[in-house]
């Protein structure tokens, strides 16, 4: 089958001022990973490459540009999964590395464990040759503004608050199928503005933020972390596909089901094992992009599917 990679740049009440940056960055991430797949790269390499692009871009809440905890610090999380053997790697409470997703990938390949946090993640990363960066170098002005906005209202997951400053969520993720039919998923986040120090959300928790199974498909999620993890959103979507739903219907059913049950919003991107695409979000906006048959397909508004030539 033709390789494919689908990316998202986070669900939330994204202000108009940030729409263009998120669309541009999502398309860039899809293009980087698409070229890698076309050159024979694996799905695992492709999803890491897509997420690395977005971790470098302050348009997204991951890597540089991550939102801040109550102490004004970055604490990042990431996970990655390979659908051929259900191998996983995840990190949480990462403060001073540029690319948490690359450390998560090394946990998958080089660690007997699945999820490493805080000092343990740092020790592992240093052992594997990752270089630290000053934590302040990961903080953007937008993240500072978002924390100040949060301190005015102190409510998580309320989409009607903070339209001028995307303060809550905005995780990034990618799902890919390579030319061998292997599926991989990667997800990375700074979490939520104003989160407690040491708070761990859905993103590093396999089945919540990320899931991949070559026999069914792959999913990356974004949105209100505490709701996503209670609903095991990524795994719920995979289970609905396993039960016979197509990727689009499974994604919509589970995202809307979570929102109805827990009264918070989320989004998800899904590929079925045959390459069907599912994109759905219950938040105001979520950027997403993929490339197929020489064309970009992308969007950020509800119901929007834009397309243009990919060169
Ligand atoms: N989904 C990102 C978070 O809540 O941590």
| Range 15-18, long-range pairs (CB < 8 A, 24+ positions) | 15/163, 15/164, 15/165, 15/166, 17/164, 18/59, 18/142, 18/166
Q: How far is the CA of 286 from the centre of ligand 1 (A)?
A: 14
**270, 175 contact by CB (below 8 A):** yes
Out of 166, 202, 219, mutate this one to test ligand 1's pocket (max ligand atoms within 8 Å of CB): namely 202
In short, whether 191's Cβ falls inside 6 Å of ligand 1 is yes
Fold classified for 4-304: 3.60.20
Q: Cα(22)–Cα(207) distance, rounded to whole angstroms?
A: 25
> What's the pLDDT at 39?
97
Which atom of ligand 1 lies at the shortest distance from residue 223's CA?
Answer: 1
**285, 295 contact by CB (below 8 A):** no
> What's the pLDDT at 155?
72
**76, 63 contact by CB (below 8 A):** yes
In short, whether 171's Cβ falls inside 6 Å of ligand 1 is yes
> What's the pLDDT at 94?
98
**32, 51 contact by CB (below 8 A):** no
For 10-140, where are the alpha helices, taking DSSP H only?
A: 19-38, 43-55, 100-110, 118-127
Rg of the chain's alpha carbons, rounded to an integer? 17
- Residue where the block lists tokens 């199974």: 213
Which atom of ligand 1 lies at the shortest distance from residue 266's CA?
Answer: 1
DSSP letter at 161?
A: S
Q: Cα(74)–Cα(68) distance, rounded to whole angstroms?
A: 5
> What's the pLDDT at 154?
78
In short, whether 283's Cβ falls inside 6 Å of ligand 1 is no
Examine the residue annotation and report whether 171 is marked as an active-site residue of this protein.
yes
> What's the pLDDT at 311?
87
In short, whether 192's Cβ falls inside 6 Å of ligand 1 is yes
The three-state secondary structure class of 17 is helix
Which atom of ligand 1 lies at the shortest distance from residue 199's CA?
Answer: 5
CA-CA distances (angstroms) from residue 126 to 23, 130, 184, 190, 257? 34, 5, 25, 21, 41
- Pairing relationship of beta strands 266-272 and 217-223 according to DSSP bridges: antiparallel
- What are the tokens at 231? 């609903």
> What's the pLDDT at 169?
55
Q: How far is the CA of 295 from the centre of ligand 1 (A)?
A: 31
Q: Delimit the domains of the chain by residue range.
A: 4-304
> What's the pLDDT at 157?
56
- Pairing relationship of beta strands 87-94 and 115-117 according to DSSP bridges: parallel
In short, whether 201's Cβ falls inside 6 Å of ligand 1 is yes
In short, whether 202's Cβ falls inside 6 Å of ligand 1 is yes
Q: Whose CA is nearest to atom 4 of ligand 1?
A: 225
> What's the pLDDT at 159?
45
Q: How far is the CA of 203 from the centre of ligand 1 (A)?
A: 6
Catalytic residue among 171, 210, 251, 270: 171
Task: Identify the segments of the chain with pLDDT beneath 70.
Answer: 156-169
């Amino acid at each position: 089958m033709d390789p494919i990679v689908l990316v998202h740049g986070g669900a939330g009440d994204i202000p108009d001022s940030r729409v263009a940056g998120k669309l541009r960055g999502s398309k860039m991430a899809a293009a980087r990973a698409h070229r890698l797949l076309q050159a024979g790269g694996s799905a695992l390499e492709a999803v890491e490459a897509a997420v690395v692009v977005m971790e470098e871009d302050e348009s997204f809440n991951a890597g540089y540009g991550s939102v801040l905890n109550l102490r004004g610090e970055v604490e990042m999380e990431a996970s990655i999964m390979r659908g051929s053997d259900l191998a996983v790697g995840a990190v949480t409470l990462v403060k001073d590395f540029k690319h948490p997703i690359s450390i998560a990938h090394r946990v998958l390949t080089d660690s007997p464990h699945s999820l490493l946090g805080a000092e343990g993640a740092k020790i592992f990363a240093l052992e594997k040759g990752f270089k630290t960066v000053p934590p302040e170098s990961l903080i953007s002005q937008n993240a500072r503004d978002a924390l100040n906005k949060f301190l005015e209202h102190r409510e998580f997951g309320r989409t009607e608050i903070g339209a001028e400053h995307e303060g809550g969520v905005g995780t990034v993720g990618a799902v890919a199928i390579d030319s061998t039919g292997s599926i991989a998923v990667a997800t990375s986040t700074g979490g939520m503005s104003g989160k407690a120090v040491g708070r761990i959300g859905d993103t590093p928790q396999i089945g919540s933020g990320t899931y991949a199974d070559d026999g069914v498909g792959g999913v990356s999620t974004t949105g209100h972390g505490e709701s996503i993890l209670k609903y095991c959103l990524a795994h719920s979507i995979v289970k609905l596909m396993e039960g016979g739903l197509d990727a689009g219907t499974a994604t919509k059913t589970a995202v809307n089901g979570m929102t109805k049950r827990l009264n918070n919003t989320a989004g998800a991107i899904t590929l079925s094992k045959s390459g069907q695409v599912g994109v759905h979000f219950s938040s105001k906006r979520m950027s997403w992009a993929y490339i197929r048959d020489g064309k970009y397909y992308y969007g950020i508004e509800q119901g929007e599917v834009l397309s243009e030539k990919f060169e």
